[in-house]
Amino acid sequence: MKISKVLITGIAGSGGSYLAEYICQNHPEVEVHGLAYSRSTRRNLLEIESKITYHEADLMDFGSVFAVLEKVKPDAIFHLAAFANVKASFITPNTFLGNNILGTSNLFEAVRLARLDPVIQHCSTSEVYGQVDPKYIPIKEDTPLNPASPYAVSKVAQDFLGWTYFTSYKMRIIRTRMFTYLNPRRTDLFASSFAKQVAWIERGLQKELAHGNLDSVRTIIDMRDAMKAYWYAVKYCRPGEIYNIGGTTTMKVGEFLDKLISMSSTRIPTRCDPSRLRPADVTLQVPCVDKFIEESNWQPDYSFEESLEYLLNYWREKADEEVLSNTRV
């Protein structure tokens, strides 16, 4: 399909900003519009701010969403906006359930009532599969859903809303389930937390690295490759279908930490912090992505080593900024 205008929900977030960058850099002929809650959240988009159009709207406010859709009339919508911190969802479950489910319902309903017909890529997560029986590894799209957190429950509900609007109203909704990614801009992920702490220790800003469960097994993808995959999903995949998206490098979280530490010339002391352990954890997430690759021809551009270096260097730059800021004070 030809795409000339897109709308990204959550454009200022860690994922939405990378997606906007990908489209601006690789498809400059496409108009990029985005929903942003307020101007204060736009620091992730400073480098491409002149190339995108912001629309201040809140997915919890149906009227503001409807007004933006009537004005923009996008060919494609990437629905990335959501509260996504798994651990925090155990503390404030109703916040996650209300925001993620009602926000998605408002978006779909606004598209329907505005009588638009965009392709909609709904961003879901491997968390919907929960703790998977090893007999289902690698995880395929028809693996039973078994959400283990309020966040995961909210994403299952979003998933089913997508299916309902596809079957009932013929809306062109494609559901993608993303597995573990390396995203420097999202600090609540284990990889970003580890990289930040390594950089902070290297610069003398903290003394030891705190971690949670190191025995979980993850298959890892670079965030930049993940956002390229979302574009490919809209271009080449079939509405109504579900697609797992993930990388090819599989390891325990502890192995990932060891690789990160090996990149530092500084001694990195570590300790387990009980507060970082979840009430219920998902410890085995290895995807089968054959369906997505066969239909889209997507391939990753970055090796695991390149992704790891990119992640650590991002946080080293942030650590240098922190040191400079402390020196000025």
Angstrom distances, CA of residue 229 to CA of 81, 101, 284, 300:
17, 24, 22, 8
Per-position pLDDT tens, the chain of length 329: 799 999 999 999 999 999 999 999 999 999 999 998 765 567 899 899 999 999 999 999 999 999 999 999 999 999 999 999 999 999 999 999 999 999 999 999 999 999 999 999 999 999 999 999 999 999 999 999 999 999 999 999 999 999 999 999 999 999 999 999 999 999 889 999 999 999 999 999 999 999 999 999 999 999 999 999 999 999 999 999 999 999 999 999 999 999 999 999 899 999 999 999 889 888 999 999 999 999 999 999 999 999 999 999 999 999 999 999 888 75
**Token pair for residue 96?**
């996650």
- What is this structure's pTM? 0.96
Sign (positive/negative) of CA torsion 233, 234, 237, 240?
positive
User: Which pLDDT belongs to residue 327?
Assistant: 84
User: Which pLDDT belongs to residue 39?
Assistant: 56
User: Which pLDDT belongs to residue 42?
Assistant: 74
β-bridge mates for residue 250, sequence order = 219
User: Which pLDDT belongs to residue 38?
Assistant: 66
| 79-114 per-residue burial string, b: 16 or more CB within 10 A, e: under 16 | bbbbbbbbbbbeeeeeebbebbbebbbbbbbbbeeb
Strand blocks (E) in the chain = 5-9, 31-36, 52-56, 76-79, 119-125, 172-178, 181-182, 209-211, 217-222, 242-245, 249-252, 270-272, 284-285
β-bridge mates for residue 251, sequence order = 218
Q: What is the DSSP letter of 134?
A: G
Question: Pick from 133, 153, 157: which is nearest to 143 by CA?
Answer: 133
User: Which pLDDT belongs to residue 280?
Assistant: 84
User: Which pLDDT belongs to residue 13?
Assistant: 92
- All structural domains of the chain, each given as residue ranges with its CATH number in brackets, are 5-182+222-245 (3.40.50.720), 190-218+249-286+302-328 (3.90.25.10)
User: Which pLDDT belongs to residue 37?
Assistant: 75
CB atoms closer than 10 angstroms to residue 3: 18
**Token pair for residue 28?**
């400059």
User: Which pLDDT belongs to residue 36?
Assistant: 82
Written as one letter, the residue type at 255 is: E
Contact between residue 288 and residue 140 where contact means Cβ atoms under 8 Å apart = yes
User: Which pLDDT belongs to residue 177?
Assistant: 98
Residue 32 backbone dihedrals phi, psi, to 5 degrees: -110, 115
